[in-house]
């Protein structure tokens, strides 16, 4: 059982929905980013998605693209991202961390070497948005064998014919993308998302977590209410981009987490 599996079991036992937060590693710099990540669990975050900066983030909207550019301008690397996780794990051995990013940096490192380093650092799962199920032998299957969950995205365009393929080797949870398009674009609507979540849940026992387009505590609550939890990314990254103190950003995160936990 991974930390992700254990976290969902604990939430189920407590009758709570999951709140997942996305932050970009190294934005605006490593010390500030690490302070933010370390503060997330106390702000109510159940699972941390840690973005790996990449030069060509095709699924990301302007907010997260710019966060990645700030991180890269500050010389953020895969090695420094792994070290951030180690530093976090020095004080927290319970909160799951999912690395979210693109395949190129992993391919460049070498899959076996990367998985060994990720596992040793304390990463629990991967979301690699540019590897389709047809490429599962490339990273998904090796990751599962190494003890990491491989979390797949389902979208509004994932039809009934495609869905079983998407779910086939997915573990940890299913990430449902609530809107078509890039991150940080339109706002998610619970009435649109609910039938899709029900459709996915009819095909898998995995938790279904909804992300994209969730920007407020009210939206966090309404979306978590029709799923097993929600993800907020761009809204949090936007607060960092304004140059706010980490404590102010964490206060904002807590309002979002409280919303999800009310669901």
Active site residue 49: yes
Residue at token pair 């026992």: 205
113: tokens are 């070497």
Q: What is the three-class DSSP state of 22?
A: strand
d(Cα 111, Cα 127) in Å, to the nearest integer?
14
Active site residue 66: no
d(Cα 162, Cα 172) in Å, to the nearest integer?
19
User: Which of the residues 5, 46, 60, 228 is marked catalytic?
Assistant: 60
User: Which of the residues 49, 196, 221, 228 is marked catalytic?
Assistant: 49
Summarize the chain as % helix, strand, coil (round to 5).
50, 15, 40
First to last CA, the chain: 26
β pairing state of 125-128 and 47-51: unpaired
**What would the DSSP string read from start to end of 244-263?**
--HHHHHHHHHHHHHHHHH-
Looking at the annotation, which residues are catalytic?
49, 60
């Amino acid at each position: 059982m991974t930390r992700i599996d254990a976290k969902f079991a604990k939430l189920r036992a407590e009758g709570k929905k999951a709140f997942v937060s996305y932050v970009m590693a190294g934005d605006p710099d490593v010390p500030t980013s690490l302070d933010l990540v370390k503060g997330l669990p106390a702000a109510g975050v159940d699972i941390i998605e840690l973005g790996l900066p990449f030069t060509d983030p095709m699924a990301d909207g302007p907010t997260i693209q710019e966060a990645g550019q700030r991180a890269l301008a500050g010389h953020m690397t895969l090695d420094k991202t792994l070290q951030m996780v180690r530093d976090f794990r020095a004080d927290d051995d319970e909160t799951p961390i999912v690395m979210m990013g693109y395949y190129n940096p992993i391919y460049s490192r070498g899959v076996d070497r990367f998985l060994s380093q990720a596992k040793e650092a304390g990463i629990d799962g991967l979301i690699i948005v540019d590897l389709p199920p047809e490429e599962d032998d490339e990273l998904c299957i090796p990751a599962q064998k190494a003890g990491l969950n491989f979390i797949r995205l389902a979208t509004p365009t994932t039809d009934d014919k495609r869905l079983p393929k998407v779910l086939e080797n997915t573990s940890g949870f299913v990430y449902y993308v609530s809107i078509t398009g890039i991150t940080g674009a339109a706002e998610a609507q619970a009435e649109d998302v609910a039938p899709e979540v029900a459709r996915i849940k009819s095909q898998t026992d995995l938790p279904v977590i909804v992300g994209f387009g969730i920007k407020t505590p009210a939206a966090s609550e309404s979306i978590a209410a029709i799923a097993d939890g929600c993800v907020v990314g761009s809204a949090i990254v936007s607060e960092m981009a304004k140059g706010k103190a980490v404590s102010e950003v964490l206060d904002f995160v807590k309002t979002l987490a409280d919303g999800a936990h009310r669901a």
